[in-house]
Amino acid sequence: MGIYKLKPACKDYIWGGNRLVNEYGVECDGEICAEAWVLSCHKDGSSRITSDIQEGRLFSEFINENKAVLGTNCERFDDFPILIKLIDAKKPLSIQVHPDDEYALKHEKQFGKTEMWYVLEADEGAFLYQGFEKNIDKEEFERRINDNTLTEVLHKKYVKKGDVIFIAPGTLHAIGEGIMVAEIQQNSNVTYRVYDYGRLGPDGKPRELHISKALDVTKLERPTDTVSNSGHLATCEYFCVDKITVKKEAVYHGNAGKESFVSILSITGNCTVSTGTEAISMKKGDSLFIEADTGKYEIEGDAEVIITSIPSKA
């Protein structure tokens, strides 16, 4: 059974900065690194394996040829179930919404998107948008998109390092300026953009909006704050996420059972992840994939890590 270090696919969206390169050690060509897809099999950007005899290989190719390494909980999915990103919002992201599986499969031929954010850094006074401040109707929603007053009715949520935000399909949202997050989401890249502050894309033209589809899927309400009572940062049918603090005097003992692979993302410090036969060092920003049925593993060092696995459907 194997453990693999991954190199992310990087995205240079216009709202991104350079903190992922400067502070998280992400290797990226170009001046902007908005997103680092640290665990990805998506066609729009696959991670690469940087360790073992598989070094340099696309992670998606490896998984397509070795589906058993995902575990039995993944058998209900046609594709790799999740995508994990590091996101640096130097400027605010567009106000957008994601569809659920039913709508996305019908209209986009791929799955919808449920996601969560763990706030890594947030400037003083930084905020994001999450749903509406009050319930509105579809006519008002469309009117405010057209007359550029949409932000007046959105719920502004101020955030700090360590906050967890769960974004269900249909929730209008946007990460704000000065926020960095780790995002765990379904393996989907379907986004319907409804407002983008009048910005122009690299081609000098306004970026595409998807107003008609957004009107179809947006829930016109303020979502209730989702607080996990399971002991995890977040858990749903697509992912189970934990944050673990590792200290030199306290080794973390984990298990990659036959049910699911394990993803480990280092967000602070340095540590070593070891199984019975392999050991790989991690620094801030590094991502590891441990095959299902590898068995017990240990994390030693002084670090904070985010651990993600796939739960049973129940």
CA distance 5 to 134: 45
Amino acid identity, position 233: L
Active site residue 222: no
What are the backbone angles phi and psi of residue 137, rounded to the nearest 5°? -100, 170
* 8 A C-beta contact, residue 41 and residue 187: yes
CA distance 2 to 280: 11
Q: In what helix (H) or strand (E) does residue 64 lie, and over which residues does it extend?
A: helix 59-65
Of the residues 19, 143, 144, 193, only one is catalytic, namely 193
Give whole-number Cα distances, 59 to 40, 47, 119, 182, 258, in Å. Answer: 7, 5, 26, 20, 20
Per residue, what are the HEC states of 210-270?
CHHHHHHHCCCCCCCCCCCCCCCCEECCCCEEEEEEEECCECEEEEECCCCCEEEEEEEEE
Smallest CA-to-CA distance from 86 within 179, 222, 168 is with 179
CA distance 8 to 37: 5
Torsion of CA 268, 115, 137, 177, to 10 degrees: 30
Q: Which of the residues are catalytic?
A: 193
